[in-house]
Amino acid sequence: MHINEFNQPIGESLPGHTPGERPSAALLSGRYCRLEKLSAARHGADLYAVYGPDSPLQNWTYLSLNPVAGVAELDALLQRLEQSADPYYFVIIDQADGRAVGTMALQRTDTANRVIEVGWVIYSERLKRSRIATEAQFLLAQYVFETLRYRRYEWKCDALNQASCRAAERLGFRFEGIFRQAVVYKGRNRDTAWFAMLDADWPQVKQRMQRWLAEGNFDEQGRQRVPLQEIK
């Protein structure tokens, strides 16, 4: 803790602090997946399985949008997402077959304070609970802290969405509280759970995730040997 000349506690000094840059990456590559900037023309056909009418309705309960009714509606949606600078959308590509299997975005970019949030995480059924999903989150966090050099990385969700809350903590985000009556969506109230990861947290989180993602942590069927939560 620092004390000023009036004997008041004040925050740590940040000499040389400058505003951050906005996300602009076209490609982030990993062992099992890669993240590409969303392209309606390039990714639309694959994403129909993720956003289309056959997508399980329970996947959309805690999202502000619903599955599209058809190809034309999906194309219009993806065109809007492609043109968006904030949120800045990525598509998750399975390295094994080159297919798009989900999307995620960096949003609410606060360049002045170097704060940014992950959002619009929409996974196909094949992506859920897979090492691809975890590596995609790893690649995005690595980009936030090591390329953009942001100080704070946020995860927010409906406080009733227990799957999202568990995922945030599993990935190394820390629960910070609930903002009551923060959002109205789909005609109902949302209390928002806030989680965050700081630049000081990242080295340890990175080490844990790299150890979990190592090939030796998976058997021949691709099943994990040690859960991420048990890696210290």
Report the pLDDT value the prediction gives residue 130, as an integer from 0 to 100. Answer: 85
Own/partner contacts of 188-191, CB < 8 Å, gap of 24 or more, are 190/158, 190/159, 191/158, 191/159, 191/160
CA distances from 187 to 56, 61, 95 (A): 21, 12, 39
Q: What is the pLDDT of residues 54-91, one digit of tens each?
A: 999 999 999 999 999 999 999 999 999 999 999 999 99
Residues of the chain with pLDDT under 50: none
Q: What structural domains does the chain harbor? A: 18-230 (3.40.630.30)
* Pairwise CA distance, residues 161 & 99, whole Å: 28
pTM attached to this predicted model: 0.95
Burial class (CB in 10 A: 0-12, 13-18, 19+), 87: buried
SS3 sequence of the chain? CEECCCCCEECCCCCCCCCCCCCCCCEEECCCEEEEECCHHHHHHHHHHHHCCCCCHHHHCCCCCCCCCCHHHHHHHHHHHHHCCCCEEEEEEECCCCCEEEEEEEEEEECCCCEEEEEEEEECCCCCCCHHHHHHHHHHHHHHHHHCCCCEEEEEEECCCHHHHHHHHHCCCEEEEEEEEEEEECCEEEEEEEEEEECCCHHHHHHHHHHHHCHHHECCCCCECCCHHHCC
Question: Rounded distance, CA 178 to CA 189, Å?
Answer: 13
List CB contacts of 207: < 8 A, sequence separation 6 or more: none
Q: CA gyration radius for the chain?
A: 19
* pLDDT at residue number 179: 98
Q: What is the pLDDT of residue 15?
A: 93
> What pLDDT does residue 221 have?
81
pLDDT tens digits, residue range 99-117? Answer: 999 999 999 999 999 999 9
pLDDT value of position 222 = 83
